[in-house]
Amino acid sequence: MTEQHAHQFERGTDGPKVIVVGVDGSDSSLRAAAYAGGLARRQRALLAVVYVQPVLAGSAALGAPVADTTDEIAEDLVAQIREAAEQSRGIFDVRWEFHTFRGDPYGGLVKAADELKADAVIVGASEQAGHRIVGSVAVRLVKAGRWPVTVVP
């Protein structure tokens, strides 16, 4: 008998217990967060909202305060998520955490999913035209084959 399944998604549960969703403030990522929130509520899973702060090596030479800007984006995302959670308090009970990682979006989400022991990863579809040629973060996550990945339009 040969080993057919090299990857193990099952962690002894009937559904995902930790759902990672990548957010960057784009409309598609916010739709992905809403979808992931509903899934987390139905599955009684932990929703790990992840923002990957870009690291732009050339920006320091140009004098651009990139770290400050990405910190502001992260703070704004946390505020938006908290506001949505407060509005739905009593209607939807979702356990959630906010995490930030630094790096490129794909690498940051892989690191987050590994460290948080994700059972599922949810991302918004890319809104950039160039990704149709080069490949989006979502496509790269699917090709990695390490977690079930849902792409929200």
Instruction: Specify the pLDDT at position 1.
Output: 47
Instruction: Specify the pLDDT at position 2.
Output: 47
Instruction: Specify the pLDDT at position 6.
Output: 52
User: With 50 as the cut, is the pLDDT of residue 134 above it?
Assistant: no
Please identify which residue in the block is written with the tokens 């849902």.
150
Instruction: Specify the pLDDT at position 61.
Output: 47
Q: CA gyration radius for the chain?
A: 16
User: With 90 as the cut, is the pLDDT of residue 65 above it?
Assistant: no
Q: What is the pTM of this model?
A: 0.73
- Among the residue ranges 58-62, 121-125, 126-130, 140-144, the one predicted with the least confidence is 58-62
Confidence category of residue 58, pLDDT binned at 50, 70, 90? low
Paired tokens of 124? 């918004």
CA-to-CA separations, 30 to 1, 22, 60, in angstroms, rounded: 45, 9, 29
The mean per-residue pLDDT over the stretch 129-146 comes to 73
